Structure 1
Amino acid sequence: MKPARPARFVSFALLLLATGCDDMSKQHKENPYASADSAPAEPVPGTVEYHDAPHPVPRLTMGLLQRGRDEYHAFCAPCHAETGNGDGMVVQRGFPAPLPLMAAGGQTGGPMHLHDVITSGQGIMYGFAQRIGSDDRWAIVAYLYALGRSQHATRADMTPEQLARAP
């Protein structure tokens, strides 16, 4: 009987596992749909070609803000958190933290910049152009401004009715 053989196998397996681990948060990202040359397959004949043409900024309504809230919670909150502070659930599980979306003086960058970041991505964040339509990206931008304003509101921002109810 040779008991040394299983011990050597276990040692070898542990060595392979230890050398195979790396920091997976710093991976090269490539959008396979970025160009026709790198697309995964040719479009089926007869299909309509997809173009994400710029849409005009929609009119600010309560419905737009509600849609933005829903889309933000579905796509953005896992990393950016419901507050926009960058400590979402995946960050709490070890993913690198994104920058906070709001600052005391407002967002970093204008609305078009935020729309472009949602569209194309930034840093390790991938773009959401294939997942979120342009109108919904604008809804998220509107919601981000409302979220930022709500977190940095002062009494001067309140209506007379709100002031009457405030403690």
Structure 2
Amino acid sequence: MTRASALPLSLWLPLCLAGCTGEMSQQPRYDSYEPSALFADGKSLQAPPEGTIARDDPDQTRALATRPPMTLALLERGRERFGIYCTPCHDEAGYGRGTVPARGFPSPPSFHTKRLRQAPASHFVDVITKGHGVMYSYADRVDASDRWAIAAYIRALQLSQNAPLAAAPADERSKLAGRAP
């Protein structure tokens, strides 16, 4: 045991409190409309950077409220955004075997389970917006319209892994029938 650790708590407390002077609790600051030499325009209140979106921005709220029409451009955008934000955990096919769970983090559910195949597309938008389980919210990273694009791409992934043979064109069905195990 060292000499310092042998001191009783009654002696440690005054020593620790001596370090808390008024300087620490009274930090210099600027009021909102106070002049400031810190910025070139002389104002302490600065405009937010270009592209900053308020949490309750009406345009973002409207974009979340209505699903855009399904288009090839929407699916392509969804594939791109899914690749950026979702594949680290969900993997490229959506089975939940990404690099993040491979390193010991909890695995996300597969998008190909019956429960998630039956979930409305708005469920995926809501999870991206608010988070779910160990997944945190991506609202500050993924634009509202891109959330719908990702949800559309998840639907395409689900269809690609669970499509009935009858949904394929006749010539493709004959090719697939020839490869049956």
TM-score range, shorter chain: 0.5 to 0.7
Letter in 2 for 1:54: R
Distance 2:154 2:114 in 1: 13
Structure 1 unaligned blocks of 5 or more: 1-42
> Gapped runs of 5+ residues in structure 2?
1-44
Higher-Rg member (1/2): 2
Task: Give runs of aligned pairs for residues 36-115 of structure 1, distance below 5 A.
Answer: 44-45=46-47, 50=54, 51=57, 52-55=60-63, 56-104=66-114, 107=117, 109-115=119-125
CA shift for structure 1 position 54: 3.0
Residues 164 and 61 of structure 1, relative CA distance in 2, 3 Å threshold: farther
How far does residue 161 in structure 1 lie from its aligned partner after superposition? 4.6
TM-score, structure 2 length as denominator?
0.62
In structure 2, the partner of 1:15 is: none
Determine if contact 1:79/1:91 at 8 Å carries over to the other structure.
Answer: yes
Q: Percent identity between the aligned chains? A: 36
2:166/2:173 contact within 8 Å kept: no
Matched, 1:135 2:145: yes
* Match of residue 134 from structure 2: 124
The structure with more strand, counted as a fraction of residues:
1
- Structure 1 residues 162 and 44, CA, compared in 2 at 3 Å: closer, same or farther? farther
| Change in 2 beyond 3 A, CA 1:117/1:63 | same
Kindly state the Cα deviation for residue 156 of structure 1 after the two structures are TM-superposed. Answer: 1.1
Is residue 106–residue 149 contact of structure 1 (8 Å, CA) maintained in 2?
no
Paired residue type of 2:156: A
Instruction: State the alpha-carbon separation in 1 of the partners of residues 153 and 138 from structure 2.
Output: 16
Higher percent of residues as helix: 2
Q: Give the secondary structure class of the aligned counterpart of 1:99.
A: coil
Distance in 2, matches of 1:89 and 1:150, equals 22
The residue that corresponds to 2:11 in the other structure is none
